[in-house]
Amino acid sequence: MEKLVIAVPTFNNIKYTKLLLASIKCSFPHEILVIDNGSVDNTVEWLIDNRINHIAYKENRGFSYAYNEAMDYTFCTDNFLLFAANDTVFYPNSIDHMVLALLESDFELFCGHEILNKVTVEGVNVNVLKEFPYPFSFKKKEYNKLVYVDGGLNHSCIIRQKSSFDTIGYYDVNFYPAYFEDNDYARRCNLLNVKYGTVISAMFKHFWSRTIYEGGAKELNDRRFSKNREYYISKWGGTVGNESYERPFNLQDVKISSRDNELMILRELM
């Protein structure tokens, strides 16, 4: 392993981005890459002022596009990529444990162990960040020993090595701006026999869908969610868990090897 790239997609909600970035602790060589999808708060200005490596777009290109950008950025060399939603917060040993799990196992992808923050699940709580100061205090005891198991592919916090990208390829940007792109990716992993798991000892807090409920993406999500679901059904011949096709649309390759049409597709979706 040469380096770990920690990629963070953003769309507004700078308060959560600051919290996530402050929680990053890693003993391995690493760098941070923030991918901003058209924030209209002061996210980009803050990134510039603080000299944080970033890519910024004027429009929201969606999670799949951000995943793809992060993979292209990372896998031009033989690095590891950790992709974390900006409404997550790492426990102190979590990133090290995710890297160690990849280094000592034959798994190609791992997700972290999600701890949902129930305070925010039911809606906006303007005081929630006051209850979560840095340095962080966690009620649940940390795992000191590395523990991982088969299964699970939570895209809120997912680490992978280049071999998985070589096998699976890119995410499908037709799932826009979010939802079902992770189900699609997991389906492809299963069909291509990619081994993945969960690092139980790599815990992270997740404030859960803050981009939608606080970041200003709710209207777009409401408009697109059912379309994404319909697209998934047409692509795989059934709902999640009830698919009947072994190949997308019963005829295409499982691997997505090109990004040539992404911007054209996104213009149509927007």
Name which CATH class applies to 4-269: alpha beta
The single residue listed with the structure tokens 């997308």 is: 248
- Token readout for 200 is 């139980």
Tens of pLDDT along 83-97?
999 989 898 899 999
In angstroms and rounded to an integer, the radius of gyration of the C-alpha atoms of the chain is: 18
pLDDT band at 211 (very low <50, low <70, confident <90, very high): low
Tens of pLDDT along 5-63?
999 999 888 988 998 998 999 999 999 999 999 999 999 999 999 999 999 999 999 99
pTM as predicted: 0.90
Mapped onto helix, strand or coil, the DSSP state of residue 56 is: strand
**Contact (CB, 8 A) for 99 and 80:** yes
Give me the pLDDT at residue 67, please: 97
* Section 136-164 average pLDDT: 84
Spell out the residues 6+ positions from residue 75 whose beta carbon is closer than 8 angstroms to its own. Answer: 81, 162, 165
CA contacts within 13 A on the Cβ side of 179: 18
The single residue listed with the structure tokens 């990629």 is: 7
Domain ranges of the chain: 4-269
- Token readout for 194 is 């990619």
